[in-house]
Each structure stands twice: as structure tokens, then as C-alpha cells.
């Protein structure tokens, strides 16, 4: 166990965590950032980010998040690779356990983000890494010249489909409805691309073929006609949204029906000294810039909290 009690521990190293770290470091609070199992968060899995202000030509997601990390580290934020196994928020100081180590802290910022959602198909898990993927940036390269499928109807699916046209000979975008959540600009780009085809009102019932350790096709069903058929493809990329990484806190903090942490006054939880920011508490906007914004708020609230406590 660390002897001293820290001022602030930040769980998560995406946009929200890095921004909280930057503000806390500049307030001389010497924040400790626990990077978690997906360092860099969702930005590290994306390509060109065109809607983060300040980059007129856009910036690559991994570069943006790495810059944020460097900026916070320059002001004294300490980064540690480690996955939090448990946290006790019931008394002061709060304790956070990482592996065999227990860290004591006066405040905790939860910026654990959200992770990719899977479809839950019988063969899906067996084929992850063998043609089933939730990260076009990571795995698209392996499917050069192949025909591939992207599932989903939001911006993530459009972005993945567009990105995958760099490698694939054809991308089929499969969506369970004929209405799309995607923004008009992204949807139009995908619709206008000559190598993207749309298959709407269609659900995936399973993916073949685990015995060959590769994706050979999908079993599809039309929602309106109930007709099922086999659809040959070399890969299935999922762009069907995310699940908040808040399970560890479900007994100690309030969550909504989908597991997002509930906050009041922007980033306050019901436990004094515990703040939540970014995608783990934001089911509405879920943008890099809004995650950064709430990260900033959480750090400012930490400052206020510590000041009130006389630290
Ligand atoms: P989303 O907007 O929630 O869209 C998820 C899509 O997946 C929906 O079309 C949904 O279908 C479908 N889906 C969910 N569960 C499914 C299931 N079990 N089977 C089949 N389909 C399923 O999520 P997102 O696309 O990840 O976007 C999240 C947020 O990030 C949004 O605010 C988005 O604007 C933002 N984002 C922005 C950019 C960008 O601007 N460059 C890029 C990526 C994401 P239904 O529509 O039928 O529910």
C-alpha cells in the first residue's frame, strides 16, 4: 500500500482522463492516472478526427490522444499502466486496488469510457481476431482486396465502412432498420461511395466458420420478410455502439438502465470526492470534445472539493 494519501487518482486515459489530468496537474495536485486496459480510449482506435476544434485539416485520433497525454505529463501528471480491480468509495480516503497494490486518495475521477458492443452471436467470440473485429483501424489492413461487411447504422459504422474502402474491394453496410442514426454528412459520404453497398432491415443471425478459424460468411435475415440467407464475406466489422465501463461501480454509484454512471451538477456523483466524466457518464453527446470538457469540469470540482476539505 502506498503510504501517502494522494490528492486525486484518475481512472482512464482517454480524452476525459487526459484533460482531467492536465487541469489537475496545472493546479499542482500531482494527479495519478491509471491507464486501464484500453490506453488512449476510443480515440486510439479511430482514424482522422475532423471535428475536434483547433485542427483545420483534422488530426489522427491516436496522435490527438498522445498529444493530450504529453501535455498533461509536462505539467507533472503521473501515468501508470494498470487495471483497477476494485475501489472502495465508502469511506475517506478512497482506496483503489491495482493488481496487488492499494492506492489511497482523497478524490477519484472516473473516466473509464465505454467499450465496443458485440452482437452476441453463437460463433462471434470464437472468430474475434479471425475476421470479426470492432476496430477497422486495427484490422482493416488484413482484408486487402476482400469483400467485407460492416454492421450498424450510426456514425461509427459509416466511419468504419468509409475507412475500410481503402483496403476492401467491396464493403456491405448491414443495418437492422432503414432509418439511420448517423449524421447526414457521414451517411451521405457512405451512400455516395461507389464501393459501399447498403443492406437495410437486415440482422445478422450468425457468423461462419469457426472450424476454419476464418470468416467465410454471415447468416442474415430480412426483418420485414423473415427470409434468411447466407451472405459470403471475409470479415465482419462491428460499429454498433458501446457499453459504459462502469460495472465495477454499480453497487456503489447510481447507474441508469444501460449502465451509464449517473451524475448531477455535470460531473458529481452521490459520493463526495468521486467524480465521473466522459463516455462512462455521457450517453447523449459522446464526442471527444464533450469528453474533454467534462474532464476539465471534474478536475475543477476536485480542486474545489480539496479546498473545502482544507487540503
Ligand atoms: P450509435 O449512434 O448508438 O449507433 C449504433 C448503431 O448500431 C445504431 O444504428 C443501432 O441500430 C445499431 N445497433 C446497436 N445494437 C445493435 C444490435 N444488437 N444489432 C444490430 N444493430 C445494432 O453509436 P455510434 O455509431 O458508435 O456513435 C456513438 C456516438 O459517437 C454518436 O454520438 C456519434 O455521433 C459519435 N461518433 C462520431 C463520429 C464522427 O463524427 N466522426 C464517429 C463515430 C462516432 P438502431 O439505430 O436500430 O438502434
Instruction: From first to last of the 311 residues of the chain, give the pLDDT tens digit.
Output: 555 999 999 999 999 999 999 999 999 999 999 998 889 998 887 777 888 999 999 999 999 999 999 999 999 999 999 889 999 999 999 999 998 899 999 999 999 999 889 999 999 999 998 999 988 887 899 999 999 999 999 999 999 999 999 999 999 999 999 999 999 999 999 999 999 999 999 999 999 999 999 999 999 999 999 999 999 999 999 999 889 999 999 999 999 998 999 999 999 999 999 999 999 999 888 889 999 999 999 999 999 999 999 88
Q: Which residue out of 16, 42, 60, 155 has the highest number of ligand 1 atoms within 8 Å of its CB and is therefore the one to mutate? A: 155
The torsion defined by the Cα of 28, 276, 11 and 253, in degrees rounded to 10, comes to 130
Specify the pLDDT at position 135: 86
What spacing in Å lies between the alpha carbon of 279 and ligand 1's midpoint? Answer: 14
Specify the pLDDT at position 15: 97
> Is 139 a known active-site residue?
yes
- Residue 151: which of 224, 244, 61, 219 has the closest Cα? 219
Q: Which residue out of 182, 188, 241, 258 has the highest number of ligand 1 atoms within 8 Å of its CB and is therefore the one to mutate? A: 241
> DSSP characters for 41-89?
GGGGG--EE-SSTT-TT-EEHHHHHHHHHHHHHHTT-EEE---EEEEE-
| Ligand 1 binding pocket, CB closer than 6 Å | 51, 119, 151-157, 159, 176-177, 181, 183, 239-242, 286
What spacing in Å lies between the alpha carbon of 265 and ligand 1's midpoint? Answer: 27
- Retrieve residue 231's grid coordinates: 451472405
Residue with the nearest Cα to atom 21 of ligand 1? 152
What spacing in Å lies between the alpha carbon of 216 and ligand 1's midpoint? Answer: 25
Q: Tell me if 5-115+242-308 shares its fold with 118-238.
A: yes
- Residue 156: which of 128, 136, 176 has the closest Cα? 136
- Residue 158: which of 223, 240, 36, 49 has the closest Cα? 240
- 10 Å CB burial of residue 227 (0-12, 13-18, 19+) is exposed
Per-domain residue ranges for the chain?
5-115+242-308, 118-238
- Retrieve residue 223's grid coordinates: 426483418
Specify the pLDDT at position 3: 57
| pTM of the predicted structure, to 2 decimals | 0.80
The third-level CATH classification (topology) of the domain covering 118-238 is FAD/NAD(P)-binding domain (3.50.50)
Q: Please tell me the CATH superfamily of domain 5-115+242-308, with its number.
A: FAD/NAD(P)-binding domain (3.50.50.60)
Amino acid at each position: 500500500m502506498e503510504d501517502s494519501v494522494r490528492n486525486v487518482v484518475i481512472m482512464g486515459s482517454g480524452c476525459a482522463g487526459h484533460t482531467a489530468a492536465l487541469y489537475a496537474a496545472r493546479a499542482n495536485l500531482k494527479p495519478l492516472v491509471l491507464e486501464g486496459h484500453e490506453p488512449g480510449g476510443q480515440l486510439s482506435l479511430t482514424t482522422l478526427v475532423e471535428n475536434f476544434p483547433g485542427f483545420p485539416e483534422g488530426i489522427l485520433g491516436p496522435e490527438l490522444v498522445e498529444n493530450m497525454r504529453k501535455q498533461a505529463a509536462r505539467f507533472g501528471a503521473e501515468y501508470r499502466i494498470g487495471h483497477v480491480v476494485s475501489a472502495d468509495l465508502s469511506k475517506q480516503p478512497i482506496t483503489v486496488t491495482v493488481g496487488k497494490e492499494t492506492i489511497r486518495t482523497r478524490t477519484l475521477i472516473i473516466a473509464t469510457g465505454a467499450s465496443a458492443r458485440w452482437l452476441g452471436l453463437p460463433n462471434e467470440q470464437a472468430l474475434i481476431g479471425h475476421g470479426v473485429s470492432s476496430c477497422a483501424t486495427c484490422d482493416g489492413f488484413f482484408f486487402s482486396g476482400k469483400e467485407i461487411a460492416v454492421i450498424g447504422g450510426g456514425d461509427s459504422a459509416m466511419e468504419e465502412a468509409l475507412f475500410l474502402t481503402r483496403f476492401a474491394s467491396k464493403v456491405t453496410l448491414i443495418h437492422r432498420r432503414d432509418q439511420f442514426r448517423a449524421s447526414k454528412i457521414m451517411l451521405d459520404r457512405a451512400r455516395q461511395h461507389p464501393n459501399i453497398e447498403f443492406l437495410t432491415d437486415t440482422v445478422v443471425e450468425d457468423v461462419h466458420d469457426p472450424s476454419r478459424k476464418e470468416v467465410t460468411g454471415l447468416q442474415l435475415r430480412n426483418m420485414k420478410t423473415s427470409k434468411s440467407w447466407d451472405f459470403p464475406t471475409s470479415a465482419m466489422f462491428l460499429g454498433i455502439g458501446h457499453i459504459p465501463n462502469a460495472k465495477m461501480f454499480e453497487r456503489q454509484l447510481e447507474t441508469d438502465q444501460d449502465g451509464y454512471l449517473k451524475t448531477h451538477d455535470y460531473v458529481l456523483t452521490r459520493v463526495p470526492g468521486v467524480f465521473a466524466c466522459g463516455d462512462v457518464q455521457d450517453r447523449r453527446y459522446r464526442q471527444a470534445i464533450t469528453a474533454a470538457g467534462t474532464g476539465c469540469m471534474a478536475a475543477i470540482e476536485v480542486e474545489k472539493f480539496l479546498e473545502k476539505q482544507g487540503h
